[in-house]
Structure 1
Amino acid sequence: MESTDFKLIVVGGSAGSFSVVSHILAGLRPDFKLPIVLSLHRLKHVRSGLVEGLSLKSKLRVIEPNDKEKLQQNTVYLAPANYHLFVELDGTVALSTEESHNHSRPSIDHTLGSAAYAYRDKLLGILLTGANRDGAAGMKEIADNKGFTIVQDPLSCDIATMPNEALKLFHPDRLMNPEDILHFLNALPG
């Protein structure tokens, strides 16, 4: 039985994911309320451009949150360059510059794993195309905490390493191409 009573959506992606995220944000209905947290691998030394690029397509507000910022509806939160983003039990985010994980900061595993602990069965996790295994363990944590999991179909990925690594660890609730992910999100209540 699947729940659609979600309180948060977390999305992880790496190589090739910018175009998928852009497509999804461009196609979401304007009244989409659930907060979305994006943990995307990005260049450490490039501090701007990604929020602006996503904002051009998105009907929702796209921001890089400050430390301890409260997650709000109708907003997309992008993990800042060279910071881990953790989701806290009180619905805020915590930013950290601790060591890289899977050669990445932000670490998708850290974002997804912390959100899994904080939101449990009220969390929807989505893992997109990417070139390493970061995100696989975080998605398994979402599944282990009874959250709902969607993994991008490896056949629709620019680079399928990340989804394939996740599929080695657990069986997601859905395996979908980007268009199906968009339709799934737009069919959510609220």
Structure 2
Amino acid sequence: MNRFKLHNRYKAVVIGGSAGSFQGITRILSGIPQDFSLPIIMCLHRLKHVRNGFTEALSIKSIKPVTEPCDKENIKKGQVYLAPANYHMSIELGNSFSLSTEEMVNNSRPAIDITLETAAYVYKDRLIGILLSGANRDGALGMKKIKERGGLTIVQDPADCMIDTMPAAAMQLTEIDHCLNIDGIIRFLIELDKQYK
């Protein structure tokens, strides 16, 4: 695992995904250590009118509880957060969430770009961004911002994706640090967590 350049100053992991990402994200959430120390902030495209069931389905598979944050809620270490249906989710200075119902971005609300870009602004080089399977380009600009601010960028290997448009778009837009399959992402997160023990 020495091919990963890690430091122990990371503050958060942010994950974006869309079509085809559910299986991958459930494998990640079931594969990380139970005491994984960093907050995991997820922005996943979902049906805006279906309020119940999605978070519960993730929680069943996850080794840690998955919660939808409230507006202005503080981000805590070791928690797993999911953007609520039909809300954009931003990260604010002071380490808290901001929810809004502004216009859709990339035909999506929540928009992955908004979550990734605001996280990049707050966490700078202390952020790890992960982009999974998806059918549009949402998240590509966000990954570019993470890279520009000094954060670490990872995309799911397009060959491992059900739909590769999203990670491929990110790779076209910026030089991604690591292109990994889901098992590789899990190994990365396990190795990362060891830095904090």
Asked if TM exceeds 0.5, the reply is yes
Asked if 2 retains the 8 angstrom alpha-carbon contact of 1:2 and 1:148, the reply is: no
TM-score (norm 2): 0.94
Shift of 1:2: 3.2
Question: What is the Cα-based RMSD across aligned positions, in Å?
Answer: 1.0
2:45 match: 41
Aligned residues: 190
TM-score (norm 1): 0.98
Aligned residue among 129, 140, 144 for 1:136: 140
Residue 71 (str. 1) matches residue 75 (str. 2):
yes
2:85 match: 81
Distance 1:19 1:95 in 2: 26
- The letter for the 2-side match of 1:13 is G
Residue 147 (str. 1) matches residue 163 (str. 2):
no
Structure 2 gaps, min length 5: none
The runs of at least 4 consecutive aligned structure 1 residues that moved more than 3 Å come to: none
1:97 match: 101
| Aligned-residue identity in percent | 54
Aligned residue among 7, 10, 19 for 1:6: 10
For residue 77 of structure 1, give the secondary structure of its aligned residue in structure 2.
strand
Residues 23-34 of structure 1 aligned to structure 2 (within 5 Å): 23-34=27-38
**Farther-moved stretch of structure 1 (56-65 vs 156-165):** 56-65
Residue 120 (str. 1) matches residue 105 (str. 2):
no
Asked if 2 retains the 8 angstrom alpha-carbon contact of 1:109 and 1:135, the reply is: yes
For residue 187 of structure 1, give the secondary structure of its aligned residue in structure 2.
helix
Aligned residue among 175, 178, 186 for 1:174: 178
For residue 150 of structure 1, give the secondary structure of its aligned residue in structure 2.
strand
